[in-house]
A and B are shown apart, each in its own frame.
Chain A
Amino acid sequence: VELLREHGGGARVLAGGQSLVPMLNFRLARPQCLVDIGRVASLAFIRVHEGRLLIGAGTRQSAVERSPLIAERWPLLRSAVLHVGLPQTRSRGTIGGSVAHADAAAEIPVALAALDASVHLRSSRGTRVVRWSDFFRFEFVTDCAEDEMVTAVEIPTQRERTGSSFHEHATRHGDFATTGAASTLTLDEDGRCAHASLALLACGPAPVRAHEAEAALVGAPPTGPAAAEAAERALAVTEFRRGHSDLPERYRRRLLRALVEAAIDGAARKAEAVPTPEPGP
């Protein structure tokens, strides 16, 4: 962070390089200085502390993919990461890099939105924690200042009896996604939806949560009609952007509707599969 301060706006942080190096190769980015954090061991960790999940910015995506703790307790993040690029890029690409790059078609920011995550930032001025919704401002634009860097992401404890699901469409496996949806659903004892989150991919300049759609799900069993209504409301907040895909908007809308319904259905099935806790003694 001292180097970032010294170089003012001329420096960029280089982590795994799976987004930044192609930009350098194309001369889309021409920073005066690169600060390589790839070997800062203290930035690479996956830790559960007081029920919350902390992932260091330098943690490789492949580590998240293989983490038993994440697979067990935050499976949405794992399935989102499995859609990121290819094994050959996830071996280098990092969590912090994907977050700081803030591509609107990126999977990790969407999963973080669905999971109500926060981003930890640090500069020579100090540290701060920013909620995902304040962090992702626009396409490739975040709340991270020129002298700041992302150091970790923090994800709260997943509620009891919660299921999650991530669905996306990409023209080719490993290519940038056309659109997608991530959902978590929490069921009460009667099988009604007690809490819902629905985050949309490439449906605006930054990850979006479809709050109206979530409201349509809460209080009812998460079956077909509720999911269809949620998909309808999700489409209402969607703003497809030209740069994300060459596919016609009408097709993208149909895709998104199917993906939202699949995400809700998948999350509901997984939540139903969670055994209801035994009444305490």
Chain B
Amino acid sequence: MTWVAVEVNGSPHGADVEPRLLLADFLRDHLGLTGTHIGCEQGVCGTCTVHIDGRPARSCLTLAVQVDGASIRTVEGLAPPDGGALHPLQVAFREHHALQCGYCTPGFLMSMEPLLPGLRGANGSEVREQLAGNLCRCTGYENIVDATQAAVAALAEDAARRVSVEVELELPADREHVLAAATDPLRLLRALGIGAPVGCGPTGGRGRLRAGGTTIEGVLELIDVDSDRCVANLAVEARDTGGSGRVNGTVAMTLSAAGLLVTLDLDLVGMPAAPPAAVEARLRRAAAAWVDLLEPAQRP
């Protein structure tokens, strides 16, 4: 037996499980979260889709022991547990009669929810392409496409904003080490003030920020590094744990003789956005923090 500690829909859970146990069975049988359905058990039908660290994944193709330390969201986590408002995607599914027997519905919801911001302006065939990973045996696809498009339209109306900030930061003499520190997701999260990181795996760092009564949970992932040109690209994906707000975007960092150029491109959906000047000020502070974060041994 192996001890697995995971966060499911915002609450910590732990259990002693057989290494062979699938995540889908763990959620259903150990945690009683039977909203996640099991269909084909080979990754084709998509009804078992859940979010692992913010990304849609098949819980029938993942062992419970593989997600130790991860953050999981199931269909039960889409709407607040106290009978509060449904997620806009759930509302759209109800309004457009996008479910018949309902067996496939949790998978459709969990597959499409993270893809909604990227589908803004998409046409019907692009939406269909994104739906390809889920099967509905009642074949009610037309209504599912309609509901998804309606949810995308609802998002677009909901004050979607793009924040783009470019800051040239001056760096002190030990700048060679700054990029190394800046590309460490954990350190960057701390430096950007995205709360205390709660875990770090190959997908990068996860962090939490409490702001004005809402909790924002985010993943900052180091995507690539060009060590020849001193360029690092990071991806930010964060969401409001109680609602349907999202932040998606990229942070590009280029180190040159002049300093560190940080380019922040964030897409905010249903989230309060700090004015670019405030973001810039925070980045300037962050640059100083990166230097402070360097281990003494790393300094020349």
Contact = CB atoms under 8 A, between A and B. Distances in A.
Interface of A: 14, 17-18, 21-22, 24-26, 34, 36, 38-41, 43-51, 58-60, 62-63, 66-70, 85-89, 91-92, 172-174
Nearest to B128: A173
B238 to A, nearest CB: 16
B61 A18 contact: yes
Contacts of B224: 46-48, 63, 67-70
A49 B111 contact: no
Interface stretch (B7-15, B85-93, B196-204): B196-204
Nearest to A62: B55
B39 interface: no
18 contacts: A14-B66, A17-B63, A25-B60, A26-B42, A38-B66, A38-B201, A44-B203, A47-B226, A47-B227, A48-B229, A63-B223, A68-B233, A85-B43, A86-B132, A87-B115, A88-B57, A89-B43, A173-B132
Nearest to B69: A39
Given A47-B227, A88-B58, A172-B132, A41 B201 contact: yes
Contacts of A18: 43, 58, 61
A48 B19 contact: no
Given A66-B235, A67-B223, A174 B63 contact: no
B36 to A, nearest CB: 13
A25 B20 CA distance: 10
Contact of A49 (B58, B227, B252): B227
A92 B227 contact: no
Nearest to B58: A88
B133 A47 contact: no
B129 interface: yes
Contacts of B203: 44, 60
A139 B252 CA distance: 40
B58 A89 contact: yes
Contacts of B225: 45-48
Interface of B: 19-20, 22, 41-43, 46, 49, 52, 55-58, 60-63, 65-66, 68-69, 111, 115, 129-130, 132-133, 200-203, 221-229, 231, 233, 235, 250, 252
Nearest to A34: B19
A26 B63 CA distance: 14
Contact of B58 (A24, A50, A92): A92
A27 to B, nearest CB: 11
B56 A87 contact: yes
B288 to A, nearest CB: 26
| Most central of A34, A60, A87, A173 by chain B CB within 10 Å | A87
Contacts of B19: 34
Nearest to B55: A91
B127 to A, nearest CB: 13
Contacts of A17: 61-63, 66
| Most central of B56, B66, B202, B203 by chain A CB within 10 Å | B202
A48 to B, nearest CB: 4
Given A43-B202, A48-B227, A86-B133, A67 B58 contact: no
A50 B69 CA distance: 35
B66 A69 contact: no
A25 B41 contact: yes
Contacts of B227: 47-49
Contacts of B223: 46, 63, 66-68
Contacts of A40: 202
B57 A91 contact: yes
Contacts of A46: 223-225
B290 to A, nearest CB: 20
Contacts of A70: 224
| Most central of A24, A47, A50, A88 by chain B CB within 10 Å | A88
- Enumerate the 6 nearest inter-chain pairs by beta-carbon distance, A residue then B residue, closest first: A44-B202, A86-B133, A46-B224, A91-B55, A48-B226, A173-B132
A91 B54 CA distance: 10
A58 B132 contact: no
Given A44-B203, A66-B235, A174-B133, A92 B52 contact: yes
A38 B202 CA distance: 7
Contacts of B111: 87-88
B102 to A, nearest CB: 20
A62 B19 CA distance: 26
Nearest to A21: B61
Given A39-B68, A87-B55, 5 more contacts: A25-B22, A49-B227, A62-B55, A88-B46, A92-B57
B37 to A, nearest CB: 14
Nearest to B60: A25
B12 to A, nearest CB: 18
A92 B52 CA distance: 9
Contacts of B226: 47-48, 69
B61 A41 contact: no
Nearest to A93: B61
